[in-house]
Amino acid sequence: MNYQAKLHEYRSWLAAAVEEARAGAEAGGVPIGAVLVGSEGEILGRGSNRRVQDDDPTAHAETTAFRRAGRLRTYGATTMVTTLSPCWFCSGLVRQFGIGRLVIGEARNFHGGHDWLAEQGVEVVLLDDADCVRMMADFIAESPGLWEEDIGE
């Protein structure tokens, strides 16, 4: 697959993560979404940040998508797709389980551990998607306290 075709595929996965983020926001939650994608492009797990909905501080979007994929034996051929640069907790998840690729919607509103992951050999693709940037910027402006709580600041 050439780079343009790959990029098209990554953007289609990101669209699924954005759907999750928007559904989470409609339910009163933090608008971050993620999907874990298998080697054939199939979605293995999907979810949004559920801090508010479940009163669960570990329910970041990436951990939710990962959890919903169930128990898998290996993750090297999977891709974690997230609307926002993953925090250290979710970056640690990617590293520990050896997830092979990370596709990120944007890293302007928050710069987590993705450089560290790239150094560790994870393939990191930063799409710098304008819709993701706007969605997160709007949320942070509207709910700064909830956002700071979510990242422990």
* Least distance in angstroms from the C-beta of 47 to a second copy: 11
Contact set for a second copy, span 128-147 (CB under 8 A): none
Residue 19 or 149 having the CB closest to a second copy: 149
Among candidate residues 19, 20, 62, 148, the one labeled active-site is 62
Residues 66-105 as x/- pattern, contact with a second copy by CB under 8 A: xx-xxxxxxx-----------xxxxxxx-xxxx-------
Of 34, 84, 60, the C-alpha closest to 149 is: 60
Burial class (CB in 10 A: 0-12, 13-18, 19+), 76: exposed
User: Cα–Cα distance between 88 and 38 in angstroms, integer?
Assistant: 23
Q: Does the footprint of a second copy cover residue 63 (CB under 8 A)? A: yes
Query: Active site includes 62?
Result: yes
User: Cα–Cα distance between 99 and 132 in angstroms, integer?
Assistant: 22
**Side-chain-side CA neighbours of residue 54 (13 Å):** 13
Q: Please give the DSSP secondary-structure letter assigned to residue 75.
A: -
Contact set for a second copy, span 4-33 (CB under 8 A): none
Catalytically annotated residues? 62
Contact residues toward a second copy (CB under 8 A) are 51, 55-58, 63, 66-67, 69-75, 87-93, 95-98, 113, 149, 151-153
